[in-house]
Amino acid sequence: MSYMDGMQRIDKSLMNRVLNLRENYNYEGYTKSDVKRALGMSRVDVEGLRALLSPAAGEFLEEMAARAQSDMKRHFGNGIELFTPLYISNFCDSNCVYCGFSSHNKISRLRLKVDEIKTELESIAKSGLKDVLILTGESAKKRDLSYIGEACKEASKLFSNVGVEIYPLNSDEYAYLHECGVDYVIVFQETYSPEKYAKVHIGGQKMSFAYRFNAQERALMGGMRGVGFAALLGLDDFRKDAFATAIHANFIQQKYPHAEIAISCPRLRPAKNKSEVNAGEVDEKSLFQVICAYRIFLPFANITISTRENAKFRNGIIKVAASKISAGVSVGVGTHLDGVKRGDEQFEIDDTRGVDEIYKDILALNLQPVMSNHIYV
Amino acid sequence: MMDIKDDFLELGGHKFSSRFILGSGKFSLTLLEAAIKDAKAQIVTLALRRVNEGGSENILDFIPKDITILPNTSGARNADEAVRIAKLARELGCGDFVKVECIKDSRYLLPDNYETIKATEKLANLGFIVMPYMYPDLNVARDLVNAGAACVMPLGAPIGTNKGLATREFIKILIDEIELPVIVDAGIGNPAQACEAMQMGCAAVMANTAIATSGDVRAMAKAFALSIEAGRLAYLAGLGEISEAARASSPLSGFLE
């Protein structure tokens, strides 16, 4: 669906480029020798990325892991950044068939008051975390922006790095949030297939594919330092979506060389009243392959692994390719106050370890947990 | 014979007997402390964005008190941001040294020489001992001298690549033309490269990734310390000339004497 009233438009050439490349990605045509050639390149190009995401690369997971690990060490040393998400509201105006927050899903809704947010932030800060990601549902009502801004102001008093994962905004609105202390913006495109996107986003602002696609660019125009990208793997053809995610991030980085690029690797998870939702063919081996391909193609990018995955997988992937991990996570609203859930979760998580436990586990892996890796300037 | 014990690196009026500047960006905290001992480094860099002030593990707690902390401005994309970070570092008690990094390319992390000159001038005027990380360009180095830098820190190769002295020829020009200490920063990937830099006449070498990502951090720190000292000694001794043609040890015209 096209832009709606009030949505800032961005030239569509970059989007068309990504969509055309995705459309023409025929991964079944790649062979073992294509994969070997890609792994032999000092700097893997788009053709190499295609090979690494193909089924043929499934037989080269160990080789891909070795290359990914080497690239990650060169860029990140042995540091693993920690952060936690804070859901401040689960109200949502959009209707997305796979999401627990969907406006048509009957869940317990809650919007924390600013003083409650402050208390939650203080509770999180006690764990030693210095990086927090503020999340809301996709509620596009403009009155929400000042509310989110207030939350971010409070967060920036306690944390060295504050990000948001909220509905897409215009660049002046991102600039406002930047003034409130926000320095990075994450927007999941969910799927880069416009056809599938239209089928699963059936109400609300989120229906506009183009507006969502260009969110990172508007965030950078608004002064943000970093932007994050992701496809929700399992929603459509995961190889094509992973490919599109990586080239989208790459093109944005080329266009805005100062931008710090991050990629998340979410798989579909069951949600309340949506137990049928699952990641389908994206098994752990496939996810591992995708994350390694991301690392090899974009060795400088932060790659985040969320609590959608289990502790064993998360411990394994931070040794190889993921540089940032969430800890002490609750995807419900209001749970950091006293551990009592007040608003329902967006989806089910698979790793319930607390900050201390993850911290110790990272040390046990001979890696260095990094709480602070940012300075707001 | 030259006694290396009388040989000091001078920066902003301070003397250092070690010519090894250790980067701290990619170490585990406990290993950092151990590496400082094995490297015998007297200057250790510190990314201010990594300082977990008030947190459970503050990197400052792992750097011995007799070490000079060299805060860097990593995270700064321009001169104004670098100045702000430097001021924050001073407020945190990190002293007057500052390594200027102005980087607005997140892929290759190459320094922006233009912003670096601006930041150097501002910080030198504020009384900082400014050590600017730069792309090796003679004109820029001259501007940095005029701006009040305490040294120049050209990159040998892009940060973290371990590719060594890819910019060798340009660093040689800086050594020949610039009176200030020339310290190779970034890209040095093994002790042999560090030794070569010192033999060329660099005043010091900075290394991080090569040590942090080695199999044995402490052993590699020691290897670097030894190679830097060997390279310095060789430079002071004066290297033999390289010649295209063979030269007999017994001169052919010797019978004329």
- Per DSSP, the residues of A36-87 read HHHHT-SS--HHHHHHHTSGGGGGGHHHHHHHHHHHHHHHHTTEEEEEEEEE
For A29-48, the pLDDT digits (tens) are 999 999 999 999 989 999 99
Facing B81 at nearest CB: one of A368, A372, A377 = A377
Cβ atoms A71, A303 nearer than 8 A:
no
pLDDT digits (tens, 9 = 90+) for A8-28: 999 999 999 999 999 999 999
Distance of CA A231 to the CA centre of its chain: 8
- Eight-state DSSP code of residue B58: -
Asked if A12 has any chain B CB less than 8 Å from its own CB, the reply is: no
Proportion of chain A above pLDDT 90, given as a percent: 62
Instruction: Flag whether pLDDT at B130 surpasses 60.
Output: yes
Contact B106 A259 (CB under 8 A): yes
Are the C-beta atoms of A152 and A162 separated by less than 8 Å?
yes
Determine the Cα–Cα distance for residues A119 and A117; give it in Å rounded to an integer.
5
How does pLDDT run across A199-258, given as a tens digit for each residue?
988 878 888 999 999 999 999 999 999 999 999 999 999 999 999 999 999 999 999 999
Distance, in Å, from the CA atom of A358 to the CA atom of A328, rounded to the nearest integer, reads 8
User: With an 8 Å Cβ cutoff, is A251 touching chain B?
Assistant: no
ipTM of the complex: 0.80
pLDDT of residue A274: 64
- Kindly indicate the confidence band of residue A344, based on its pLDDT and cuts at 50, 70 and 90: low
Q: Can you tell me the mean pLDDT for B29-41? A: 83
Average pLDDT in the B227-233 region? Answer: 94
Q: How do strand A201-203 and strand A95-96 relate by DSSP bridges?
A: antiparallel
B207, B194 Cβ separation under 8 angstroms? yes
Q: Does A360 touch chain B (CB under 8 A)?
A: no
CB contact under 8 A, A372 and B212: no
Catalytic residue among B99, B118, B122, B222: B99
Residue A259: list chain B partners with CB under 8 A: 106
The token pair that represents A166 in the structure block: 């909220």
Taking contacts as CB-CB distances below 8 angstroms, the residues of chain B near A130 are: 52, 55
Q: How far is A256 from chain B (nearest CA, A)?
A: 8
User: B138-147 and B168-177 are packed helices; what angle lies between their axes, rounded to 10 degrees?
Assistant: 40
pLDDT of res. B106:
87
- What is the pLDDT, as a whole number, of residue B63? 81
Rounded Cα–Cα distance for residues A304 and A327 (Å) = 11
Proportion of chain B above pLDDT 90, given as a percent:
56
Within 55-74 of A, beta carbons closer than 8 Å to B belong to: 73-74
Tell me the per-residue pLDDT of A108-130, one tens digit each, with 9 for 90 and over.
777 888 888 998 899 899 888 99
Q: What's the confidence (pLDDT) of residue B246?
A: 75
| B163 in active site | no
Using DSSP's 3-state secondary structure scheme, residue A13 falls into helix
The pLDDT tens digits of the residues spanning B231-256 come to 999 999 888 877 777 777 777 777 77
pLDDT at A59: 95
Compare all CA atoms of chain A with the CA of B89 and give the residue at the minimum distance. A375
pLDDT of residue B235: 93
The pTM score is: 0.88
Partner-chain contact A128 B52, CB within 8 Å? yes
Q: Which of A259, A359, A377 sits opposite B85 (nearest CB)?
A: A377
Contact state of A130 with B55 under an 8 Å Cβ cutoff: yes
Residue A265 contacts residue A230 (beta carbons within 8 Å): yes
Q: Please, which pLDDT band fits residue B117 given cuts at 50, 70 and 90? A: very high
Structure confidence at residue B214 (pLDDT): 81
Nearest residue of A to residue B187 by CA position?
A74
**The predicted structure's pLDDT at residue A23:** 96
Which residues, including other chains, have CB under 8 Å from residue A172's CB and lie 6 or more apart? Answer: A222
Task: Of B21, B157, B156, give the one whose Cα is nearest residue B97.
Answer: B21
pLDDT at residue B94, rounded to an integer:
84
Give the model's pLDDT for residue A191: 95
pLDDT of residue A181 exceeding 90: yes
A128 reaches B (C-beta below 8 A): yes
Q: Do A377 and B48 touch (CB under 8 A)?
A: no
CB contact at 8 A, A96 and A125: no
- Distances in Å between the Cα of A122 and the Cα atoms of A115, A127, A156, A211, A324 are 11, 9, 11, 34, 22
pLDDT value at A279 more than 70: no
Q: Is A141 exposed, middle or buried (0-12, 13-18, 19+ CB in 10 A)?
A: exposed
- Chain B contact present for A130, CB below 8 A: yes
Return the exposure string of A176-212: e unless at least 16 CB atoms fall within 10 Å of the residue's CB, then b.
bbbebbbbbbbbbbbbbbbeebeebbeebbbbbbebb
**Sign of the CA dihedral running B33, B37, B38, B42:** positive
Which of A95, A195, A179 has the alpha carbon at shortest distance from A140? A95
B146-204: pLDDT as tens digits: 999 999 999 999 888 888 999 999 999 999 999 999 999 998 999 999 999 999 999 99
More confident: B41 or B255:
B41
Q: Are A164 and A133 in contact (CB under 8 A)?
A: yes
